[in-house]
């Protein structure tokens, strides 16, 4: 019997990419590939790239070069780029990076096994040719679902797409293979984005917004629960738009309670929320539904009206503060995080001062700060009023320092409160996890004291007794959950 072909998936970027990698893994395993963790042990290393900002692109190129260095020194014979950077640049990336043996776009995902086999056999796969994916679906959202089967939508794998053997014939089935045993997993609600933020290139290479069917989302949540997942994180480019192309903009409110009711799922977390699209009913569901954590990942980006208008976004400091006040009136300990761009073209000192005022008053738990830089193909890249690199760097440093101070202050306000901690690391007697207001990888950790027998995946009720920046220190009270 011939030795099985081996493949390693190296994933960069956001949680959406992680879902895409697990769909690719499901397809490859179903076609007989053996999945391995280390690229050095793989015949083919597949790098799922990120194409969002310059730093992410550099990381993606570095990962491809690192995988290429394995060739000739072990088992690795080929390195293939997939993901957002490959989709966005295609042949341009292939020409600039000849070390990559293939550059595949989203349209190649359904035939990923044959593509990799061709490359491994010494054949040539023509590099992906980028196109504006917004043109692939009807302009009117409600007309998109009928056309969706003709468009590649990574992470939307549905039972009808399943190859034989990818999942049991009975029970929930999904086109996905878990690449780790983490008790937390992301679930895609949708792909693409209809917003036209002047600084963002994502809609051009991810396409127009299209929702997954609720039954597919729910089935995947059930399948993940069977794999040991207890926290489901709902992701997309814009979760607040979920359902608009299915004829019900309030569909998320219904779906949240259904996912929270899945046996084995203890936490449901919603990410990627647009402040301008938040509605009272969604806030009510997110703050009152058992199992749905009151966590608000709100994409503010700025708070000065003049800058927001140039960004093609909406709102201002007072409106955003009012939104946060409404949330906290319903759930005082709700988590809130956001990202901000400083140094946007035309941003004045007065605009920046307004942003500083918002960050000072907002009481956010976690903040990401980015200095503006031109992105290929975006409207903002054509704007006049570009600020000097020194000014951008200065404002980046100033807001970063303020953000650190404000998030540390918010953490201190949690001292004395009760939290529920999901244990994610136990090493050398140190137990670390996340409280409900802390999302994976972005929002800090909680160190758990007095839980000497804790194991990864367990939940503990605890009292916050101290802080270290955004991180909490909590004293365990008792284990909670199904196995307590």
CATH class as words, domain 417-479: mainly beta
Q: Is 50 known to sit in a ligand binding site?
A: yes
Given a cut of 70, the residues of the chain with pLDDT beneath it are 1-2, 53, 158-173, 482-484
For tokens 């042990």, the residue is 41
Three-point CA angle 401, 272, 281, nearest 5°? 115
What pLDDT score does 149 carry? 84
CB 481 within 8 A of CB 457: no
CB 52 within 8 A of CB 17: no
Q: Which residues of 158-173 are buried (b: 16+ CB within 10 A; e: fewer)?
A: beebbeeebbeeeebb
Q: Is 197 known to sit in a ligand binding site?
A: yes
* Whole-prediction pTM: 0.93
Q: Is 237 known to sit in a ligand binding site?
A: no
Q: What is the pLDDT of residues 415-462, one digit of tens each?
A: 999 999 999 999 988 999 999 999 998 889 999 999 989 999 999 999
Distance CA 254, CA 146 (A): 23
Q: What is the pLDDT of residues 208-237, one digit of tens each?
A: 999 999 999 999 999 999 999 999 999 999
- Of the candidate CATH numbers 3.40.630.30, 3.40.50.12160, 3.30.70.2740, 3.90.1150.10, the domain formed by 6-121 belongs to 3.40.50.12160
How do the domains of the chain map onto residue ranges? 6-121, 141-159+170-413, 417-479
- Name the packing angle between helices 214-226 and 251-260 (round to 10°): 20
Q: What is the pLDDT of residues 149-167, one digit of tens each?
A: 888 899 887 554 555 544 4
Q: Say whether 417-479 and 6-121 share the same fold.
A: no
CB 238 within 8 A of CB 209: yes
Best CA proximity match to 372, nearest among 452, 281, 310, 430? 310
List beta partners, residue 234: 187, 270
Q: Is 14 known to sit in a ligand binding site?
A: yes
**Residue 81: is it exposed, middle or buried by C-beta count within 10 angstroms (0-12/13-18/19+)?**
buried
Distance CA 165, CA 17 (A): 24
The token pair that represents 238 in the structure block: 């814009």
What pLDDT score does 142 carry? 87
CB 10 within 8 A of CB 47: yes
Distance CA 466, CA 468 (A): 7
Question: Any idea which architecture 141-159+170-413 has in CATH?
Answer: Alpha-Beta Horseshoe (3.80)
What pLDDT score does 1 carry? 44
The token pair that represents 354 in the structure block: 């307004």
What pLDDT score does 168 carry? 44
Q: Is 193 known to sit in a ligand binding site?
A: yes
Distance CA 296, CA 316 (A): 18
List beta partners, residue 301: 340
């Amino acid at each position: 019997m011939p030795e099985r072909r081996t493949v390693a998936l190296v994933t960069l970027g956001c949680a959406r990419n992680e879902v895409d990698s697990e769909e690719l893994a499901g397809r490859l395993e179903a076609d007989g590939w053996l999945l391995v963790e280390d690229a050095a042990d793989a015949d083919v290393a597949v790098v799922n790239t990120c194409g969002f900002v310059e730093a992410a692109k550099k990381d993606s190129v570095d990962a491809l070069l690192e995988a290429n260095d394995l060739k000739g020194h072990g088992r690795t014979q080929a390195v293939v780029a997939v993901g957002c950077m490959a989709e966005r640049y295609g042949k341009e990336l292939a020409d600039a990076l000849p070390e990559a043996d293939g550059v595949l776009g989203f349209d190649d995902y359904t035939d990923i096994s044959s593509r990799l086999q061709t490359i491994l056999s010494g054949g040539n796969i023509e590099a992906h040719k980028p196109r504006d994916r917004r043109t692939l679906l009807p302009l009117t959202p409600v007309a998109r679902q009928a056309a969706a089967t003709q468009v590649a939508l990574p992470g939307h794998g549905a039972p009808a797409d399943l190859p034989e053997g990818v999942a049991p014939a009975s029970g929930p089935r999904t086109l996905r293979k878990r690449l780790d045993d983490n008790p937390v997993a992301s679930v895609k609600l949708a792909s693409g984005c209809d917003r036209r933020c002047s600084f963002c290139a994502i809609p051009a290479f991810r396409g127009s917004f299209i929702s997954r069917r609720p039954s597919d989302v729910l089935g995947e949540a059930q399948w993940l629960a069977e794999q040991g997942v207890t926290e489901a994180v709902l992701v997309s480019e814009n979760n607040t738009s979920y359902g608009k192309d299915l004829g019900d903009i309030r569909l998320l409110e219904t779906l949240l309670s259904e996912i929270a009711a899945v046996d084995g799922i203890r936490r449901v977390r919603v990410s990627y929320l647009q402040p301008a699209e938040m509605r009272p009913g969604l806030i009510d569901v997110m703050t009152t539904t058992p199992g749905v954590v009151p966590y608000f990942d709100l994409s503010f980006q700025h708070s000065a009206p003049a800058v927001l208008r140039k960004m093609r976004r909406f709102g201002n400091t007072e409106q955003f503060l009012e939104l946060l006040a409404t949330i906290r009136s319903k759930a005082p300990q709700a988590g809130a995080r956001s990202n901000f761009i400083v140094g946007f073209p035309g941003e004045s000192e007065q605009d920046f001062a307004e942003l500083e005022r918002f960050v000072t008053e907002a009481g956010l738990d976690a903040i990401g700060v980015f200095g503006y830089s031109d992105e290929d193909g975006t409207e903002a890249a054509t704007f006049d009023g570009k600020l000097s690199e020194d000014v951008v760097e200065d404002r980046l440093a100033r807001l970063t320092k303020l953000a650190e101070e404000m998030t540390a202050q918010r953490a201190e306000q949690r001292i004395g409160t009760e939290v529920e901690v999901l244990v994610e690391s136990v090493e050398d007697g140190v137990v670390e996890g996340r409280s409900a207001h802390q999302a994976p990888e972005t929002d800090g950790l909680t160190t758990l004291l007095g839980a000497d027998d804790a194991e990864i995946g367990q939940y503990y009720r605890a009292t916050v007794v101290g802080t270290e920046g955004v991180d909490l220190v909590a004293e365990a009270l008792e284990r909670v959950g199904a196995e307590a």
